[in-house]
Chain A
Amino acid sequence: MNQVLNFVSEKDLKEFLSRVSPGALYGSYLRDEAHIFGRIDDLEKVELGLRIARSPVPAKTVFAPLRERVAVYPSRDYHWEVEIPEESLPTVLGIRGCDLRALEFLDLIFLEDEVQEPFYAARRKNTVMITTDCAEIAPSCFCTVLGTPPYPEKGFDINLSPIEAGFVVEAGSERGEELLAEAQGLMREASDEQVAQRDAMRQKTIDALNEQNAPYKFDKPIAQIVTEGKESEKWHKLVVPCVECGACTHICPTCYCFYLYDQPTEYREGLSERVKGYDSCLYADYGKMAGVGGMKPTPRPTLAARLRHRFLHKYCWAPEKYDVFGCTGCGRCKDACSGAIDVREVIKELAE
Chain B
Amino acid sequence: MKNPYAPINAELLEVVEETPTIKTFALKPEEPIEFRAGQFVQITVPGLGEAPFTPSSSPLDKEKVEVTVLKTGRVTDALHECAPGEVLGIRGPFGKGYPLEETAGKEVLIVGGGVGLAPLRALILVLIAQPNFKRLSIKYGARTPDELLYRKSYAEWDSQEKVDFTPTIDIPATGWVGHVGLVTTLLDDLDIDIKNSVAISCGPEIMLKFVTLRLLELGYEPTQIYLSMNRKMSCGLGKCGKCNIGPYYLCKDGPDICYDKIKDYPDVFG
What does the 1/0 interface line of A249-270 toward B look like (CB < 8 Å)? 0000000111111111000000
B215 contacts the other chain (Cβ, under 8 Å)? no
Inter-subunit contact B5/A262 (CB<8 Å): no
Which residues of B, 239-269, contact A by the 8 Å Cβ criterion?
Answer: 239-242, 244-247, 252, 266-268
Closest to B264 in A: A230
Tell me which residues from 104 to 120 in chain A have a Cβ below 8 Å from any Cβ of chain B: 109-110, 112-113, 115-118
Interface stretch (choices A69-77, A188-196, A332-340) = A69-77
- The answer for the CA separation of A348 and B72 in the assembled complex, in Å, is 44
* Cα(A75)–Cα(B89), bound, Å: 11
Cβ contacts under 8 Å, A74 to chain B: 7, 9, 46, 87, 89
**Residue A63 at the B interface, CB < 8 A?**
no
Q: Are B266 and A312 in contact (CB under 8 A)?
A: yes
CB within 8 Å of A: which B217-241 residues: 230-232, 234-235, 237-241
A residues near B234, Cβ cutoff 8 Å: 258-260, 279
Q: Which residues of the partner chain A approach B244 to less than 8 Å between Cβ atoms?
A: 313, 317
Interface residue B212 (Cβ < 8 Å from any Cβ of A): no
Bound together, the chains give a CA A313 to CA B248 distance in angstroms of 11
**A273, closest chain B residue (CB):** B47
| Residue of A80, A288, A297 contacting most chain B CB atoms (<10 Å) | A297
Beta-carbon nearest neighbor of A121 in chain B: B1
Interface centre among B44, B239, B245, B267 (most CB of A within 10 A): B239
Q: Which among B114, B231, B247 is the interface contact of A320 at CB below 8 angstroms?
A: B247
Q: Are B241 and A258 in contact (CB under 8 A)?
A: yes
Between A116, A272, A318, the greatest number of chain B beta carbons within 10 A of the residue's beta carbon is seen for A272
Chain A positions 70-88 with a Cβ under 8 Å from a chain B Cβ: 70-75, 78-80
**What is the distance, in angstroms, from B126's C-beta to the closest C-beta of chain A?**
24
Query: Which of A47-55, A150-158, A300-308 is the contact stretch?
Result: A300-308
Q: Which residue of A lies closest to B239 (CB)?
A: A117
In the docked arrangement, what's the CA distance between A308 and B265, Å? 12
The size of the chain B interface, using a CB distance under 8 A, is: 42
* B6 interfacial contact with A, CB 8 Å: yes
Q: Quick check: B49 and A262 within 8 Å, CB to CB?
A: yes
Chain A positions within 8 Å of B46 at CB level: 73-74, 262, 272
Q: Is the beta-carbon distance between B230 and A279 smaller than 8 angstroms?
A: no
With contacts A79-B3, A118-B1, A260-B5 known, is A291 near B72, CB below 8 A?
Answer: yes
Is A184 an interface residue when CB atoms closer than 8 A count as contact? Answer: no
A290 to B70 CA separation, bound complex (whole angstroms): 10
The verdict on A35 contacting chain B, using a C-beta distance below 8 Å, is no
How far is B44's CA from A71's CA once the two chains are assembled, in angstroms? 12
Whether B47 contacts A297 by the Cβ 8 Å rule is no
B2 to chain A, nearest CB (A): 9
Q: By the criterion of a CB under 8 Å from any partner CB, how many residues of chain A are at the interface?
A: 54
Whether, in the assembled complex, A321 has its beta carbon less than 8 Å from a beta carbon of chain B, the answer is: yes
Residue B205 interfacial (CB < 8 Å): yes
User: Quick check: is A124 within 8 A (CB to CB) of the other chain?
Assistant: no
Q: Binary interface profile of B, 87-121, with partner A (CB < 8 Å = 1, else 0)?
A: 10100000000000000000000000010000000
In the complex with contacts A117-B239, A298-B270, A321-B247, A286-B4 CB distance below 8 A: no
Q: Which residues of A contact B51 (CB under 8 A)?
A: 290
Contacts of B114 in A (CB 8 A): 292
CB neighbours (8 Å) of B72 from chain A are 290-292, 294
| Contact B247–A259 (Cβ < 8 Å) | no
CB-defined contacts of A300 to chain B, threshold 8 Å: 267, 270
Which residues of chain B have a CB within 8 Å of any CB of chain A? Answer: 1, 3-7, 9, 44, 46-51, 72-73, 76, 87, 89, 114, 204-205, 230-232, 234-235, 237-242, 244-247, 252, 266-268, 270
Can you spell out 7 A-B residue pairs with CB atoms less than 8 angstroms apart?
A73-B6, A80-B3, A117-B239, A256-B239, A260-B234, A274-B6, A309-B266
The 10 closest A-B pairs by CB, nearest first: A257-B241, A71-B6, A321-B247, A317-B247, A71-B5, A290-B73, A290-B72, A70-B5, A272-B47, A299-B267
16 additional contacts (CB under 8 A) given A72-B6, A74-B87, A260-B240: A70-B5, A71-B5, A78-B3, A78-B6, A80-B3, A110-B239, A113-B252, A116-B1, A262-B44, A274-B5, A286-B232, A289-B230, A290-B72, A290-B73, A294-B72, A299-B270
